[in-house]
């Protein structure tokens, strides 16, 4: 329960925690933020790290002059693209071994199906998943397992990463310091989180309806 409480406090009070981070580490904050978004994107074991809300909050501080918006955008785009690619190659490396027949729970037919899915819908999936928490963490990994052609993955990954980072950082830069946003920052961050996970909820309800009686 203590971990959940701390996690919620961190998510909902990003403005306070970022302020402390910038005050303590100065320009080192860029590296810390880059590490966070790299792990959130590139490691399947850390999908719980903040993404959308962190970018928006960072953009808000850039709007105050505490961070350089261009440096922030460039550094985080680079970190996210790097995370995407690391995740892809981990999936590419582990995929053939996991589906070699040594593990009864991993079947070659599932790998073939994943491969066909990404060949048909991969581009759209890579871009849209970038805006859905947790899903964006697993998509590059699954793309690697399904052996989606790397040049195709890379093109959509770069486009999706640039769009995602730019949209949220500059959204925070231009709108994060409006009085109504500053006075209700926790609610705004909470709203971003809710809107971010909404596609997953809708998709789960749709799948349940289709698979129901």
Encode pLDDT of 53-69 as tens digits.
889 999 999 999 999 99
Mean pLDDT (whole number) for 89-113:
66
pLDDT reading at 187 higher than 70: yes
d(CA 49, CA 100): 32
User: From CA 79, how far away is CA 81, in angstroms rounded?
Assistant: 6
Question: d(Cα 53, Cα 166) in Å, to the nearest integer?
Answer: 13
Task: pLDDT band for 8, please (50, 70, 90 cuts).
Answer: low
Residue whose structure tokens are 């995407």 = 84
Query: In 3D, which of 203, 186, 77, 187 has the Cα closest to residue 135?
Result: 203
**Please, are residues 13 and 153 in contact by the beta-carbon 8 Å criterion?**
no
Average pLDDT for the chain = 80
Helix axes 52-63, 14-25, angle to 10 degrees: 60
* Residue 20 CB neighbours (<10 A): 10
**Can you give the pLDDT at residue 176?**
84
DSSP state of 131: T
Name the percent of the chain lying above pLDDT 70: 69
Report the pLDDT value the prediction gives residue 75, as an integer from 0 to 100: 97
What pTM was computed for the model? 0.80
Burial class (CB in 10 A: 0-12, 13-18, 19+), 3: exposed
CB-based burial label for 66 (10 Å; 0-12, 13-18, 19+):
middle
Distance CA 103, CA 89 (A): 20
Model confidence at 23: pLDDT above 80:
yes
């Amino acid at each position: 329960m203590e971990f959940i409480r701390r996690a919620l406090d961190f998510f909902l009070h990003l403005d306070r925690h970022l302020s402390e981070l910038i005050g303590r580490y100065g320009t080192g904050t860029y590296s810390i933020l880059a590490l966070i978004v790299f792990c959130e994107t590139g490691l399947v074991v850390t999908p719980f790290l903040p993404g959308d809300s962190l970018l928006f909050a960072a953009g808000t501080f850039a709007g105050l002059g505490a961070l350089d918006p261009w440096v922030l955008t460039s550094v985080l785009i680079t970190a996210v693209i790097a995370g995407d690619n690391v995740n892809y190659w981990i999936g590419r490396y582990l995929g053939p071994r996991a589906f070699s027949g040594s593990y009864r729970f991993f079947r070659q037919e599932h790998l073939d199906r994943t491969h066909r899915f990404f060949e048909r819908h991969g581009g759209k999936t890579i871009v849209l998943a970038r805006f859905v928490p947790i899903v964006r963490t697993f998509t590059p990994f699954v793309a690697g397992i399904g052996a989606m052609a790397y040049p195709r993955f890379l093109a959509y990954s770069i486009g999706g990463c640039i769009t995602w980072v730019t949209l949220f950082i500059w959204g925070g830069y231009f709108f994060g310091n409006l009085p109504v946003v500053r006075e209700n920052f926790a609610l705004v961050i909470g709203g971003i989180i809710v809107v971010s996970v909404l596609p997953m909820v809708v998709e789960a309800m749709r799948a349940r309806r289709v698979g129901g009686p």
